[in-house]
């Protein structure tokens, strides 16, 4: 496994994870949406289990750093939705062939992009948080990308509240999804080891997120994430249907 790091694909994976960690640190979301499709192109073994390990570890830092801003009421409603959806998504993963998974993964990324660009305006209420958690839980467990629904639910929230609560949500939600995959026989020691091996690079990106926050203030982060995710989805779909 370690030989992967000493190869061009391994270097590309490290760069993708580092940049995604910086995006996560600056916005409270976006780690999986940027890194997961790129890593899936490099090697599908990275998704969904190892990606969930990395994302869960990265979100600990954000949740702890701004823990006073975490809205526990919001968190409870969103995680309730995630828990309901996680078990069903884990079962679906077990029924898919590698080609079918690549195709579904590609479509899920495009759905995430569409949601990010949709301009939907919703209020941050218990109902919308539960619904967002439900959709996020299904997408997140199936593909490791569950941020867009939650980002939409939090688009009108204060930045500190959004970052802190989303980081807490993705930390606990990641554990829920990993548990669901484990119960369905879709997560094992190899997934844990691969995720753990890549996590230091994700955390390094998170710690370097100061520049990401400055770019966020200038509105430059989201277009890059959207463009990279869309291009990666097209590549995955081309592979699935070739």
Q: How far apart are CA 211 and CA 234, in angstroms?
A: 29
pLDDT score at 212: 53
Residue 159 pLDDT level (bands cut at 50, 70, 90): confident
Reported as a single tens digit per residue, the pLDDT across 73-125 is 999 999 999 999 998 898 888 787 777 887 888 888 888 888 878 877 778 88
% of the chain with per-residue pLDDT over 90: 33
Tell me the residue range of the domain where 116 lies. 2-241
pLDDT score at 94: 78
pLDDT score at 85: 94
- The pTM (predicted TM-score) of the whole model is 0.83
Reported as a single tens digit per residue, the pLDDT across 20-69 is 888 777 766 778 888 988 898 898 889 899 999 999 998 887 788 778 88
Model confidence at 152: pLDDT above 90: no
Average pLDDT along the chain: 84
pLDDT score at 65: 78
Residue 10 pLDDT level (bands cut at 50, 70, 90): confident
Q: How far apart are CA 59 and CA 82, in angstroms?
A: 16
Q: Which residues of 36-68 are buried (b: 16+ CB within 10 A; e: fewer)?
A: bbbbbbbeeebbbbbbbbbbbbbbbbbbeebee
Residue 197 pLDDT level (bands cut at 50, 70, 90): very high
The more confidently predicted of residues 163 and 70 is 70
% of the chain with per-residue pLDDT over 70: 89
Number of domains in the chain: 1
Q: Where are the alpha helices (DSSP H) in the chain?
A: 8-27, 31-42, 49-65, 72-94, 98-117, 126-143, 147-153, 159-183, 189-207, 210-217, 221-241
Could you tell me the end-to-end alpha-carbon distance of the chain, in angstroms, rounded to an integer?
Answer: 28
pLDDT score at 84: 92
């Amino acid at each position: 496994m370690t030989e992967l790091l000493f190869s061009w694909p391994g270097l590309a994976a490290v760069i993708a994870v580092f940049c995604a960690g910086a995006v996560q640190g600056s916005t409270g979301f976006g780690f999986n949406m940027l890194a997961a499709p790129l890593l899936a192109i490099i090697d599908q073994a990275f998704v969904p289990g190892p990606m969930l390990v990395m994302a869960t570890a990265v979100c600990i830092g954000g949740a702890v750093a701004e823990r006073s801003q975490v809205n526990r009421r919001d968190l409870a409603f969103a995680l309730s939705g995630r828990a309901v959806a996680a078990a069903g998504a884990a079962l679906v993963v077990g029924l898919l062939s590698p080609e079918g998974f690549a195709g579904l993964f590609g479509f899920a990324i495009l759905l995430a992009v569409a949601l990010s660009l949709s301009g939907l305006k919703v209020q941050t209420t218990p109902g919308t948080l539960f619904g967002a958690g439900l959709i996020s839980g299904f997408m997140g467990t199936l593909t490791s990308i569950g941020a867009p629904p939650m980002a939409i639910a939090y688009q009108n929230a204060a930045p500190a509240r959004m970052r802190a609560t989303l980081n807490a949500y993705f930390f606990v939600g990641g554990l829920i999804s990993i548990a669901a995959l484990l119960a369905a026989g879709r997560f094992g020691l190899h997934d844990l080891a691969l995720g753990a091996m890549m996590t230091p690079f994700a955390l390094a990106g998170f710690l370097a997120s100061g520049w990401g926050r400055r770019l966020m203030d200038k509105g430059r982060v989201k277009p890059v994430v959207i463009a990279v995710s869309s291009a990666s989805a097209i590549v995955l779909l081309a592979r699935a249907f070739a």
